[in-house]
Amino acid sequence: MQARLIQIFINLAGMMLLIIAYVLLACCLPQKGAVAPQVPIFMISLSYLFFFGGVVSALLALKCLFGRPTPQLFALLMWFSINILLYRMCLAILHIDGGFIGFLGNVESCFPISACMANFIFCLIITYLAIGSTLSLVLVTNNNHVPSRAWLISEAKI
């Protein structure tokens, strides 16, 4: 049962990471007549940050969807989600209200969704990844059991 829950988490995490990667990579493309703002923490262009985040999300998504769930994968997912949560906390420390809303303005021009809704969905996905990867890492390391994709094959034969 635990292996099946972990596998469901990994598949959902892979799909959500693909969505994040698609949105970030689509939004890092330059807009006509617009200058990409600088990120206040790293002092780099927002397009570079979105490109880096999109590539990392895509690589993690491919590992989730096509790789074997290992403790290293759960640690990478936890690292990715905690880094984003820490970045959000740094924005709050700098008194930038609304978290990522100011940075998700390109989402409004690329997709029919408001920046507030994109921020809410993004925070839900990152929270899901943080909690799920932490719990999966605890389950896998306590039981020394790494689920395989063999149960998919056995259910397909039924």
Of 152, 128, 97, 145, residue with least CA distance to 15: 128
Q: Are 146 and 70 in contact (CB under 8 A)?
A: yes
Which residues, listed in sequence order, are joined to residue 89 by a DSSP beta bridge? Answer: none
Residue 38 phi, psi dihedral angles, 5° rounding: -90, 145
Average pLDDT value for residue range 6-14? 91
Q: Please state the length of the chain.
A: 158
Q: What is the pLDDT of residue 151?
A: 47
Instruction: State yes or no: pLDDT of 35 exceeds 70.
Output: no
Percent of the chain with pLDDT over 70: 85
Query: What's the CA gap between 67 and 76, in Å, rounded?
Result: 13
Q: Which of 17-31, 34-48, 102-116 has the lowest mean pLDDT?
A: 34-48
* Whole-structure pTM value: 0.79
| Cα–Cα distance measured from residue 66 to residue 70, given in angstroms and rounded to the nearest whole number | 12
* Confidence (pLDDT) at 25: 87
